[in-house]
Amino acid sequence: MGSAALALAGAIALPGTAEAANILTNPGLESGSLSPWSCTGNLGSVVSSPVHGGSKALAGAVSSSDIARCGQTVSVQPNTTYTLSGWVRGSYVYLGVDGGASTWTSSPTAYSRLSVSFTTGASQTSATVYVHGWYAQGTYYADDIALDGPGGGGGGSDTQAPSTPTGLTSTGKTSSSVSLSWGAATDNVGVTAYDVYSGSSRVLSVSGTSATVSGLSPSTGYTFSVRARDAAGNVSGASNAVSVTTNAGSGGTSFKQAAPYLYEGWGDPPSVSTVMSATGIKWFTMAFMLDGGGCNPMWDSTRPLTGGVDQTVINQVRSAGGDVVPSFGGWQGSKLGANCSSASALAAALQKVIDAYALKAIDMDIENTDEFENEAVQARILTALKTVKANNPGLRTIVTFGTSTTGPTYYGNRLIEQAKSIGADIDVFTIMPFDFGGGSDMYGNTVNATEGLKAKLKSTFGWDDATAYAHIGISGMNGLSDQQENTTPAIWTQIRDWANSHHIARLAYWAVNRDRSCPGGGVVSNCSGISQSTWQFTSITAGFTG
């Protein structure tokens, strides 16, 4: 089976009629028991983590011989269209209706929404909906499952809607969640659930009078309301609306970094003391941390993590009042992101480097088909970054990747979307505007690419311009690129000035090793291929303040 990206970004907007309601019982497992869900092989259970909404979710412990199919049968009306939806997490998770439509996704590290519609037969009065995983693919999770449409008589002759919930208020918020509470509704038979709406979209169903809506964007306004419903599918009017703006994210405008790449395994590495003294640069991006075998971090896969030339250089940088951000990955070599077997194993490898150097920031340079163009490896890297950021308060996380002249490519967009879905809280998304068809207008095309990245960040995270710029980095290539694009000192100065005026977070280039003159020298490791003064690009970069 191939990978499918079926996750939907938002909740489904429900029709505004009383008949359109979630007719499933215990849709979010908030009762704490499976009933009336029934799972094959007794492989279903109710768990408290990970959940999408509320405090409970369904877990299906798939085996090599059983897909842990969990289903519920409900009454429906003939010749009627219903929409089945739910939030799922795991490798190859399916949602569908017996004898009818189904859909699936593979989302092992974050909840994704599935949705499918079907129309009942001319005499059909019941339907069985189900969720299941796939053989030997590990435990899946499902939450907030909904079958929207008119009930089929399960509530008897009850046509009376519950009263409207009252007193909706926000009881707390973070950069990615809002907590809500409200007064209970009443019903002639009994209220079975409350549906929480963001605007016109239902985002959560709970059985009690409080809920936490998660997966939100920082510094973003949301308007919530709540409706009550009963077993017959009758739905109340909407509560009062409450508007809440989430807190700012942790990767705010305070993080600014001018950090050109320095490589100790190539290109006549210069004396960092000389470079720092001559240019005023304080940060370097140290390349490249790779896999030395067995998911074990080593510089260039061959030099030791500590005790070698790289540590000597780092000590010299710090002695001169500067600091470093190691870069993991790059274009080639044996990479930790691709080789570590899981996100937790990769996070452990990253933690070794963080601990070895008491790091303030790390850069994941995600390139080539083994990492950048592999969505599973993208997710592994982002999940590992989320883990180490949670375990190391104050650590800044940077992802660096290629671009087109108009903004992120398909895989760049996918990386950003996965960062949002996983909740990775990346501080800086850095593009590499070179070897990208920039031609003779490297300034204009760099700006266009960065504006394209800004637009993608805004649409994905709901940020305003200033917040999006504050999460952007530019990493260029001084002098001649592999495609013979020519970034001159004058052009790099223009790019730096644009970066300062738009208050982006990071400016870097490849590489200090090449920051030397050799006009006509071509694309080589120890000079730029153009006429320039020694360390001129580093001096320009040092003028980046954000």
Best CA proximity match to 59, nearest among 129, 145, 142, 119 = 142
Residue pointed to by tokens 């001319």 = 122
Whole-number Å distance between alpha carbons of 428 and 499: 14
E strand intervals along 122-278: 126-132, 140-149, 166-173, 178-183, 191-198, 201-206, 210-213, 221-230, 242-245, 257-258, 261-263
Which residues make Cβ contacts (< 8 Å) with residue 505, sequence separation at least 6? 251, 253, 255, 256, 257, 427, 428, 469, 470, 471, 472, 473, 546
Sign of the alpha-carbon dihedral angle for 246, 250, 254, 255: negative
Tokens for 100, please give them: 């009818």
With beta carbons less than 8 A apart as the criterion, state whether 218 and 246 touch: yes
How many helices (H) and strands (E) would you count in the chain?
10, 28
264 is catalytic: no
Annotated catalytic residue within 30, 367, 371, 485: 367
Sequence-ordered alpha helix ranges (H) in 392-437: 410-422
Tokens for 500, please give them: 């300062």
Burial of residue 171 (number of CB atoms within 10 Å: 0-12, 13-18, 19+): exposed
CB atoms within 10 A of CB 515: 28
Residues annotated as catalytic (active site), given as ranges: 367
